[in-house]
Structure 1
Amino acid sequence: MPEGHTLHRLAGELTAAFGSRVIASGSPQGRFVGAAMLDDRTLDHAEAWGKHLFVGFVGVAEQVHVHLGLYGSFRFAPGVPMVTGQVRWRLSDGSTTADLRGPTACKALTPDEVAVILDRLGPDPLRGDADRDAFVARVLRSRAAIATLLMDQSVIAGVGNVYRAEVLFRHGIDPLTPGRSLSVLALEAIWADLVLLMREGVRTGRIDTVRPEHEPEAMGRPPRQDDHGGEVYVYRRDGQPCWICGEPVLTRVVGARNLFWCPRCQPSGDGAR
């Protein structure tokens, strides 16, 4: 599932392509019933909150809510190409077309319905209005493992499986440590690092988490070959040697997703395991 940086990058691309422009809006697949009311309307802006995308139009109270889920994607193309495949929503200004395929959600929502979604989300590290202290407070109230809490969108919005594994490695934190056992300073450091890493993800469109001294060129190793792209420390590297200590990377299911960590660089403590 795309992580938060992907949605923020997409929001920027949609706003850059269509912001302040009158667009044609339709649903070739026929499943987005709100598409027709947006036809010949001016797109105001798109913005993201965690893994949720919201697209607003001038003079329209409703916003389009998009959640890509596991299979959703927006694809941009020049001009107005023929429709291919199952396109849930097509936006076009004649010079550029964006097709949305396979989302979990694509629906026009009232302001109250949008508020319901936002009320259940935690702070998003990529938003200027994010409340870091709310994230810290929510973690410190919980007995759940920090690896579970980082995937809980009501605790922190936008973090997914890659960022949770990588930020915990970068800070040497055992992923099974109960949230309430961590210090305020440790949680503030996690937040600051996620802001840094995810902003870089928005800029590049991929997840890179290794420090300069551990990049392929610096270590004399081949670049990572993976369909997710990006250089990482532990994600999807189970059984392979840690870049820092050489210990095999471990994996187990935590929070319904495969978690990856280095047992030497992220030692357990205080009975966390």
Structure 2
Amino acid sequence: MPEGHTLHRMARLQRRRFVGHALQVSSPQGRFATDAELVDGRVLESVEAHGKHLFQTFGPDLVVHVHLGLWGRFPNRRLPADPPRGQVRMRIVGPTHYADLRGPSACELLTEVEVKAILARLGPDPLRRDADPDEAWARISRSRAPLATLLMDQSVIAGVGNVFRAETLFRCGLPPLLPGRDLGRDDWERLWADLRAMMRDGERRGRIETVTEATLGAGDQPDSACASAVYAYRRTGRPCLVCGTPIARESHRARNLFWCPTCQGERPGKH
């Protein structure tokens, strides 16, 4: 599933290429056809991302909400547009670029009230300027749930997926199964700052690269997973890049969890 940096990069590119222009909006697949007619020919006023959600505003109570889900894609390409191929849920065409949305879990026209209802269910997004980390801390510091669960809970922190979860826990030296209420405030501030830095870098690059030269140690050289140079994600059994211990994996709430048993050993509680 695309993580939050992907949506923010998508929003940035769409703002640059489509905002301020009257767009042609259609649904070659047909599943979004009725709503597409309502915004076709209208000026796109803004594009915003919050977590894994994208919101395209065409006017009052005319907001297209997109969630890519597991398989969704929404690439932008230069004109002229190729004929639609496959199941294109929505096509938008601007003066210089077009974008085809395929395979989303959500593509719907919402009112502003409905948008606010979605946002109310989401936690702070580390990539947004209006994010309040204290909001997430308030929930984490009271929870018995492990960090591995809390970081993937979009109502706690919006935009974090499996890759960022594995990598920030490794980089901060935190055990994945540490209960949220046992996380110290200093560790939380370090965790939030690390998430912001990694996700900003991912948004800028268009890919996730978390390994730094300063942290390489006894293990082998970084390899690519999801077009990324990473410490733990999908490196089961490979030597930790810092200490050489084999990276561990187990299933956690139907998702794979990756960590280094040495670098992420048990830590003391709050301090």
TM-score, length of structure 1 as denominator length: 0.93
The question of whether the paired residues in 2 share the 8 Å contact of 1:54 and 1:66 is answered with: yes
What residue number does 1:234 align with?
Answer: 232
Show the 5 A alignment for 1:36-75.
36-57=37-58, 59-75=59-75
Secondary structure at 1:91 match in 2: strand
Task: Note the C-alpha offset of 1:45.
Answer: 1.5
Identify unmatched segments of 5+ residues in structure 2.
none
In the alignment, the residues of structure 2 paired with residue 120 and residue 258 of structure 1 have an alpha-carbon distance, to the nearest angstrom, of 25
Deviation (angstroms), 1:24: 0.3
1:165 corresponding residue in structure 2: 166
Deviation at 1:223, TM superposition (A): 5.3
Structure 2 residue 145 is the aligned partner of structure 1 residue 144 = yes
Q: Note closer, same or farther for the CA distance 1:246–1:192 as it changes in structure 2 (3 Å cut).
A: same
Moved more, 123-132 or 72-81: 72-81
Q: Give the C-alpha shift of residue 81 in structure 1.
A: 1.7
Question: Could you tell me how far apart the structure 2 residues matched to 1:64 and 1:196 are?
Answer: 29
| Secondary structure class of the residue paired with 1:113 | helix
> Which residue matches 1:15?
15
* CA distance in 2 between partners of 1:147 and 1:238 (Å): 17
CA contact under 8 A between 2:46 and 2:57: conserved in structure 1? yes
Does the CA-based 8 Å contact 1:213-1:219 persist in structure 2?
A: no
What is the RMSD computed on CA atoms of the aligned residues?
1.8
Write out per-residue CA displacement over residues 24-77 of structure 1, whole angstroms, 9 at most, x where no aligned residue: 0000001113111111111111110000000011x3422100000011001222
Equivalent position of 2:77 in the other structure: 77
**How far apart in 2 are the matches of 1:2 and 1:247?**
29
Verify: 1:132 aligned to 2:133, yes or no.
Answer: yes
**Matches of 2:55 and 2:97 in 1, distance apart?**
20
Q: CA deviation at 1:253?
A: 1.3
Relative to structure 1, is the Cα distance of residues 143 and 221 closer, same or farther in structure 2, using a 3 angstrom cutoff?
closer
Deviation at 1:96, TM superposition (A): 1.3
- Gaps spanning 5+ residues in structure 1: where? none
Code of the residue aligned with 2:26 in structure 1: it is G
Q: Deviations over 1:204-248 (max 9, x none)?
A: 001111123357xx999665233x112110000000000011000
State the partner residue of 1:224: 223
Counterpart of 2:189 in structure 1 is: 188
Residues in 1 aligned to 2:63 and 2:189: alpha-carbon distance in whole angstroms: 33
Contact 1:165 1:234 (C-alpha < 8 Å) held by counterparts: yes
Tell me by how many angstroms 1:165 deviates. 0.7
Tell me, yes or no, if the aligned pair for 2:21 and 2:95 is still in contact at 8 Å.
no
CA deviations 1:74-129 (Å, max 9, x no partner) are 12222222111110000002431100000000000011111111111000000000
Distance 1:17 1:105 in 2: 22
Q: Say if 1:222 and 1:188 are closer, same or farther in 2 by CA, change over 3 A.
A: closer
Partner of 1:255: 253
Counterparts of 1:196 and 1:69, CA distance in 2: 24
Please say if residues 124 and 132 of structure 2, whose CA atoms lie closer than 8 Å, have aligned partners that are also in contact. Answer: yes
The reply to whether residue 200 of structure 1 matches residue 201 of structure 2 is yes
